[in-house]
Amino acid sequence: MNPDVRELAAEYARALQGYLAGHGEAALQQAYEVGRQTLAKGLGVLDMATVQHWGLLRALAKSRTPQERSRALRAGQKLCVESLLPFEMAHRRVQEVNTALRDSEHRYRNLVDTARDVIYTLSSDGRLKTLNPVFETITGWSRTEWLGKAFAPLVYPDDLPRAAAMVQAVLAGQAPPMFELRILSRSGSYIPGEFMVTPQIHEGQIVGVLGVARDITDRQRADEALRHLNEALEEEIKRIAHALHDEAGQLLASVHIVLADIARELPTSSSQRLEEVRSLLNKIEEQLRHLSHELRPTILDDLGLQPALEFLADGVSKRTGLRISVAGTPGSRLPPATETALYRIVQEALTNVTRHAQAAHVAIAFSRNGHALCCSIQDDGAGFDVPTTRARRGQRGLGLMGIQERLNAVGGTLNIVSEPGRGTELLITVPVEATSADSHSARR
Amino acid sequence: MKGALIADELRVSIDSDSDIVSARQKGRELAAQCGFPSTELAVVATAISELARNIVRYAVRGEIVLRLIDNHGGKRGVEVIAADDGPGIPDLTLAMQDGYSTSGSLGLGLPGVRRLMDEFDIVSEFGKGTTVTVRKWKR
């Protein structure tokens, strides 16, 4: 017999003897404590039964008459219940834990079964272990066609090295950032997916990969639509700029010719006043030319971002009295989409400053940092609470949203530093030395 | 479920392990008056054991109050109140989890008492003591 069990049995026998000797509740408590100790030593119900059996045999051996034996049996039954109660508590705990576990399992199952993202697990050799139902909805494949098979044939061949690298990283215990893969659908087309993968751990060991994949077809379409929209907008702006500059300019030229004719037929005193009209017309022409250039500066296409921004700054300064400085240089010519985006962003930022900031000075500064071009637009105006304004879909919020969307289209980022009373700084970073199309698909 | 007192309450001050035995005995006798079967009497005694053990271990001294109660619908039961003015429990949610103490990790202690009894209520103020009220109704 296990020495622990032997010791507990001796204690239990003493409790039973004590009960028979009239110790009552103290003996019952003693039996309860034996049960408690049996449990605490990690022994089981069968060990408890051995302890009880052994104690009862001892008591029966000491009983001389049938009456004494029947008393011993009744006492044994009472102490048996007492010593089992700790096990009853432990049993109820297990039941409660099991119920909670079942509920938790049920909730988890529900979540996985109704999720709109594909949730899957891979074994360490790259086989699909689990797939949730939405996999079928998105890809058209039946899950049974893929469960137990290698995931590789599901991935667009060019994306496979990246997929393999991510699996290796996870199996090595790293948490790689989000990445994109194109996934083969049953119809043969590829679906763009955004992936998040983490290690799957069993008893402290990494046994596979747990992945969540989102179908980003709609998002890519929306980005695409936005790019088209911006391109269409640029075309429309070009048309309006042309109408302002060329067509209105021609009309003004005709007015000048007519005025010259009239001047010849008028006395000198009146032609003096006509001269004033001519001078006003010249100013209008000048303004129209300037507006048309700001709308779509030919400078931007011909000479690049910096001269175009200096021209823009000059025009805004003249109209509003705001002092604007442009420092640093964006460097060599950038892809047209990036140049246009940056020009529009600075234009939008300056509109925001004149409308809301009550600033005296705006500093625009460029710096190159490897593959990134940084542009800072800083004013000394009223400032604002960034989260509140970004969440608002009003005029100001829309302006910032427009900036953000233009940056999305060229793979750039926007950082806003502002506080009420402390001015505002927009920090813009765009990747350079890549065409806008490349930088878009490289975005993760 | 609030119970109405239907007999004089019994008070046992808890100071040492021997007081645990007398609290158990009085609780068992009181519950027997309700007509609980003997296994349920053992359950009540067990709850008293665990509550009194906590008082001796964590608060040094306290009191166990035993009452027969009625739910106004003819249902009878026994109420056990374990009160001490010991250090109190800083985090009750934590204390009611099974892993909080050694006995808790086995399913004993306060979580075990909660599972044995029909009703369980605990009030504790850090630095001012703890009161646990449990009830068992006769089926």
Does the structure show a pLDDT above 90 at B121?
yes
Q: Reduce the DSSP state of residue A63 to 3 states and report it.
A: coil
Residues A34/A8, Cβ–Cβ less than 8 Å: yes
pLDDT at res. A251: 87
pLDDT at res. A395: 52
pLDDT tens-place string over residues A344-403: 899 989 988 988 888 899 999 999 887 889 999 999 988 888 888 777 655 555 578 888
Closest by Cα among A397, A400, A357, A399 to A380: A357
Q: Which long-range contacts (CB under 8 A, 24 or more apart) does A136-139 make?
A: A138/A185, A138/A191, A138/A215, A139/A183, A139/A184, A139/A185, A139/A186, A139/A191
Q: What residue in A sits closest to B112 (Cα-Cα)?
A: A89
What is the arithmetic mean of pLDDT over A63-85?
Answer: 94
Superfamily name with CATH number, domain B4-137: Histidine kinase-like ATPase, C-terminal domain (3.30.565.10)
pLDDT at res. A238: 82
pLDDT tens-place string over residues B15-31: 998 999 999 999 999 99
* Proportion of chain B in helix, strand, coil states, percent, rounded to 5: 40, 30, 30
Q: Reduce the DSSP state of residue B70 to 3 states and report it.
A: strand
What is the arithmetic mean of pLDDT over A25-52?
Answer: 94
Is B24's CB within 8 Å of A25's CB?
Answer: yes
Shortest CA gap B101–chain A (Å): 12
Residues in chain A with CB shorter than 8 Å from the CB of B116 are 85, 88-89, 92
Which one of A33, A38, A84, A89 would you mutate to disrupt binding with B, by most B Cβ within 10 Å of its Cβ? Answer: A89
DSSP structure string for A316-364: HHHHH--EEEEES---SPPPHHHHHHHHHHHHHHHHHIIIII--SEEEE
As a whole number of angstroms, the distance between CA A279 and CA A82 comes to: 113
Does the structure show a pLDDT above 80 at A294?
no
pLDDT at res. A444: 39
pLDDT at res. B5: 65
Amino acid at A277: V
Shortest CA gap A199–chain B (Å): 27
Contacts of A341 (CB under 8 A, 6+ apart): A230, A406, A407, A409, A410, A412, A430
pLDDT tens-place string over residues A183-238: 999 999 999 999 999 999 999 999 999 999 999 999 889 888 888 888 888 888 88
What is the arithmetic mean of pLDDT over A48-74?
Answer: 93
Which member of B43, B98, B106 has the closest CB to residue A39? Answer: B106
What is the arithmetic mean of pLDDT over B43-67?
Answer: 93
Residues B97/B122, Cβ–Cβ less than 8 Å: no
pLDDT at res. A170: 94
Does the structure show a pLDDT above 60 at B7?
yes
pLDDT tens-place string over residues A234-290: 888 888 888 887 788 888 888 888 888 888 888 877 777 888 888 888 888 888 887
DSSP structure string for A400-429: HHHHHHHHHHTT-EEEEEE-TTS-EEEEEE
The domain limits of chain B are 4-137
Does the structure show a pLDDT above 90 at B41?
yes
DSSP structure string for A383-404: ---HHHHHH--SHHHHHHHHHH
Residues in chain B with CB shorter than 8 Å from the CB of A35 are none
Q: Reduce the DSSP state of residue B110 to 3 states and report it.
A: helix
Contacts of A127 (CB under 8 A, 6+ apart): A148, A149, A150, A151
Q: What residue in B sits closest to A84 (Cα-Cα)?
A: B42
Question: What is the overall mean pLDDT for chain B?
Answer: 88
Both tokens of residue A201? 């751990």
pLDDT at res. A442: 39
Both tokens of residue A324? 């604007």
pLDDT at res. B14: 93
Does the structure show a pLDDT above 60 at A100?
yes
Which one of A19, A85, A92 would you mutate to disrupt binding with B, by most B Cβ within 10 Å of its Cβ? Answer: A85
Both tokens of residue A442? 């490289």
| Total number of residues shown for chain B | 139
pLDDT tens-place string over residues A118-168: 999 999 999 999 999 999 999 999 999 999 999 999 999 999 999 999 999
HSE toward the beta carbon, residue A336, CA cutoff 13 A:
9
pLDDT at res. A291: 80
Does the structure show a pLDDT above 80 at A443?
no
- Strand A323-327 and strand A128-131: the pairing is unpaired
What is the arithmetic mean of pLDDT over A318-329?
Answer: 89
DSSP structure string for A170-238: HHTT--PPPEEEEEE-TTS-EEEEEEEEEEEEETTEEEEEEEEEEE-HHHHHHHHHHHHHHHHHHHHHH
pLDDT at res. A311: 87
- Strand A323-327 and strand A361-369: the pairing is parallel
Q: What residue in A sits closest to B98 (Cα-Cα)?
A: A93
What is the arithmetic mean of pLDDT over B106-127?
Answer: 91
**From residue B31, how far is each of A323, B54, B131 by CA, in Å?**
90, 22, 21
Closest by Cα among B112, B20, B106 to A38: B106
pLDDT at res. A440: 41
pLDDT tens-place string over residues B72-90: 888 899 999 999 988 888 8
As a whole number of angstroms, the distance between CA A314 and CA A307 comes to: 10
Is A39's CB within 8 Å of B108's CB?
Answer: yes
Identify the band that residue B97 occupies on the pLDDT scale cut at 50, 70 and 90.
Answer: confident
